Amino acid sequence: MEHPDRPWTAFYRAGARVEITTPAYRNLADLIGSVAASYGRAPAFTCCLPNGMNGTLSFAQVDAMSDAMAAYLRDVAGLKMGDRVAVQMPNCLSFPIAAFGVFKAGCVLVNVNPLYTAEEMARQFEDARPHALIIMDMFADKLPQATAGHPIPNVIITRVAEFLPAMPRGIVGLVQKYWDKSVKRIDTPHIRLPAALAAGRARIAADKIAVAAYHQEVAGDDVAVLQYTGGTTGVSKGAMLTHANLILNMEQTMELIEGVENGVEKGREVALTALPLYHIFAFTVNLLGFYWLGARNILIPNPRPLSNLKRAFENYKITWMSGVNTLFNGLTNEIWFRDSPPKHLKFASAGGMALQTSVAETWERITGAPVIQGYGLTETSPVLTFEPLGKARAGSIGVPVPSTEIICLDEVGNPVPQGQPGEIAARGPQIMKGYWEKPEETAKTMRGDWFLTGDIGVMDPDGYVRIVDRKKDMILVSGFNVYPNEVEDVLAANPGVLEAAVIGVPDTEAGEAVKAYIVASDPGLKADALRAYCKEHLTGYKVPKLFEFRDELPKSNVGKILRKDLRAEALADIAAE
């Protein structure tokens, strides 16, 4: 039934709730335990390596192991309710154990990109001040530099093949140590994850600890996750996402997906998770949403090259997957995928960056399954809009999810006439509590309970939303935010660089590519040298793909470099070509 003030509700599936304001669970720890009780020994998470080696944990096993994780954090490591715990690892069986254990301990999860350089890690650790860190051994060699000046008292080390059967676990360990040498010496004092879990289990058994007591006082309005983002202003900060934010956003999204009429049934789905779980899209939709549905989650530690996904598609009856435009585009250009597309796939969900129409059409032609697009931001947990199943509209990001309002505003904050472009503002129960210890930054993006997204969009009369452009200078590379200020600061630190400006330009593979304009002080400076320099200080997707050397850069009267002029010039050159 259509809601009189929200015409878009007419496109919801039959029986879908229009309002979802009270979360189904008091906190995420309650959700985890309740779902585990329902599905017990059914497979919950399977880690599939590129060669097909794999390991699986049931719902009951994940529940028991995350209990032990919580006991270790609280009664062995001595953390208190509300303390921060950083988790830095790719998709693997350790991730849900760590994340769920943090929630059960009544602590706050801090997701950290495992690809970060030591400098990037240091900035996030300095801001979040975690009391514990659970990190993959492949990245632990960065810790001395990353924790200098702000040590983390409790470090727990895991490995990519953790909880796989003994033989594949041993093979992977030997390959990492002697062949590709991806695991280096770890000098930071630490405990291994299996040992930490053993200590937690021992404490539970010896002291008859009730893990539920750790999160008994955790309410929906308490912070569950610090999810770091540059937000709408480009300043790195932690969005405080509460237990209610995440549970409700999971429910808002799944409300439009679940249903026999859509072929989506609890306890019967197999979801492919190639997107990293530390990213808010996969964190909410895949880790929480598909867990809540009782789905089997196939975790891919590294989807690059795309052939790493081949065995997962061959060995499991994938019914759902999520991704970004780059992933769908790449798969449809893989010969093995085109020759043998997944036979059981019902839908694929896209987010993180704009889904190109040609990519969606090619995907559906090859797989027979549509790609449905959603839109949101880290600060919105993340989903604000989602395409109703079977009712996609070209160029649209769908309609607002239940209990969500969206309006478009002009430059002074007034609603624009219907059909006119304006900055998208949203309100609903999934909007963050604010930025961690940054009230000034919070004030820049909130107008009462309305969140200003920084994106320019248009809403159709019936509620479908289209993105027109971005108000901010942020660059979106394969769904990941790149902020020009950060890249420019790195470039400017190079002694051969006099001035630098960074913009995003269209790219067929990644959606956008980072382009750097350089005024060199060293006439012998070359692009390859600058690229290598950037790789030492920035995560790969932030490193400029294109360099252009100039004698000067366009500036305003007060000397500010005009990125908009460079962007207009670059787009004109592309159009001319």
Q: Residues 504-536: pLDDT tens digits?
A: 999 988 999 999 999 998 999 999 999 999 999
pLDDT, residue 558, reads: 47
Whether the per-residue pLDDT at 245 is higher than 90: the answer is: yes
Same domain, 453 and 488: no
Mention every residue, 6+ apart, whose C-beta is less than 8 A from residue 69: 97, 98, 100, 101, 102, 104, 105, 196, 197, 200
Mention every residue, 6+ apart, whose C-beta is less than 8 A from residue 169: 55, 161, 162
Whether the per-residue pLDDT at 82 is higher than 90: the answer is: yes
Q: Cα-flanking dihedrals φ and ψ of residue 250, to 5°?
A: -60, -45
Q: Which of 428, 349, 333 is nearest to 392 (CA)?
A: 349
User: Is 4 part of any domain?
Assistant: no
| Amino acid at residue number 126 | E
Whether the per-residue pLDDT at 2 is higher than 80: the answer is: no
**Structure-block tokens of residue 253:** 């999204």
Same domain, 175 and 189: yes
pLDDT, residue 49, reads: 96
pLDDT, residue 324, reads: 85
Whether the per-residue pLDDT at 259 is higher than 70: the answer is: no
Same domain, 439 and 551: no
Same domain, 199 and 86: yes
Q: What confidence category does residue 469 fall into, taking pLDDT thresholds of 50, 70 and 90?
A: low
Domain harbouring 152, CATH code:
3.40.50.980
The answer to whether residues 116 and 124 touch, using CB atoms and an 8 Å cutoff, is yes
Note down the domain range covering 183.
70-218
Same domain, 85 and 210: yes
For the segment 484-494, the average pLDDT, to the nearest whole number, is 85
pLDDT, residue 489, reads: 80
Q: What confidence category does residue 235 fall into, taking pLDDT thresholds of 50, 70 and 90?
A: low
For the segment 30-53, the average pLDDT, to the nearest whole number, is 97
Helix-, strand-, coil-residue percentages of the chain, each rounded to 5: 35, 25, 40
pLDDT, residue 1, reads: 40
Whether the per-residue pLDDT at 243 is higher than 60: the answer is: yes
Distance CA 320, CA 345 (A): 6
Last residue of a domain, one of 184, 218, 252: 218
Q: What is the SS3 assignment for 38?
A: helix
Distance CA 271, CA 274 (A): 10
Q: Cα-flanking dihedrals φ and ψ of residue 484, to 5°?
A: -50, -40
290-342 pLDDT, tens digit each: 999 999 999 999 998 999 999 999 999 999 999 988 789 889 989 999 999 99
Q: Which residue has the higher pLDDT, 394 or 6?
A: 6
Same domain, 428 and 483: no
Q: What confidence category does residue 256 fall into, taking pLDDT thresholds of 50, 70 and 90?
A: confident
pLDDT, residue 100, reads: 98
Last residue of a domain, one of 218, 240, 255: 218
202-234 pLDDT, tens digit each: 999 988 778 999 999 999 999 999 999 865 556
Same domain, 212 and 76: yes
Cis geometry, peptide bond prior to residue 417 (ω within 30 degrees of 0): no
Whether the per-residue pLDDT at 125 is higher than 60: the answer is: yes
Q: What is the SS3 assignment for 438?
A: coil
pLDDT, residue 351, reads: 82
**No. of H helices and E strands in the chain?**
18, 26
For the segment 380-391, the average pLDDT, to the nearest whole number, is 91
Mention every residue, 6+ apart, whose C-beta is less than 8 A from residue 351: 281, 285, 322, 324, 373, 374, 375, 376, 382, 383, 479
pLDDT, residue 450, reads: 96
Q: What is the number of other CB atoms lying within 10 angstroms of the CB of residue 187?
A: 10
Number of structural domains (the chain) is 3
Same domain, 413 and 509: no
pLDDT, residue 391, reads: 83
Mention every residue, 6+ apart, whose C-beta is less than 8 A from residue 577: none
pLDDT, residue 121, reads: 94
User: Is 248 part of any domain?
Assistant: no
155-200 pLDDT, tens digit each: 999 999 999 998 988 888 888 877 888 888 899 999 999 999 999 9
Q: What confidence category does residue 559 fall into, taking pLDDT thresholds of 50, 70 and 90?
A: low
Among residues of the chain, what percentage have pLDDT more than 70?
96
Distance CA 39, CA 44 (A): 9
Q: Which residue has the higher pLDDT, 130 or 410?
A: 130
Domain harbouring 531, CATH code:
3.30.300.30
For the segment 261-272, the average pLDDT, to the nearest whole number, is 84
Distance CA 371, CA 325 (A): 10
Whether the per-residue pLDDT at 114 is higher than 60: the answer is: yes
For the segment 141-148, the average pLDDT, to the nearest whole number, is 96
Q: Which of 501, 511, 510, 512 is nearest to 566 (CA)?
A: 501
Distance CA 156, CA 211 (A): 20
**Structure-block tokens of residue 60:** 């009951």
The answer to whether residues 508 and 537 touch, using CB atoms and an 8 Å cutoff, is no
For the segment 22-31, the average pLDDT, to the nearest whole number, is 97
pLDDT, residue 277, reads: 95
pTM, two decimal places: 0.87
The answer to whether residues 456 and 504 touch, using CB atoms and an 8 Å cutoff, is no
| Minimum mean pLDDT range among 28-32, 50-54, 255-259 | 255-259
Q: What confidence category does residue 97 fall into, taking pLDDT thresholds of 50, 70 and 90?
A: very high
pLDDT, residue 262, reads: 64
User: Is 238 part of any domain?
Assistant: no
Q: What is the number of other CB atoms lying within 10 angstroms of the CB of residue 66?
A: 27
Last residue of a domain, one of 470, 502, 533: 470
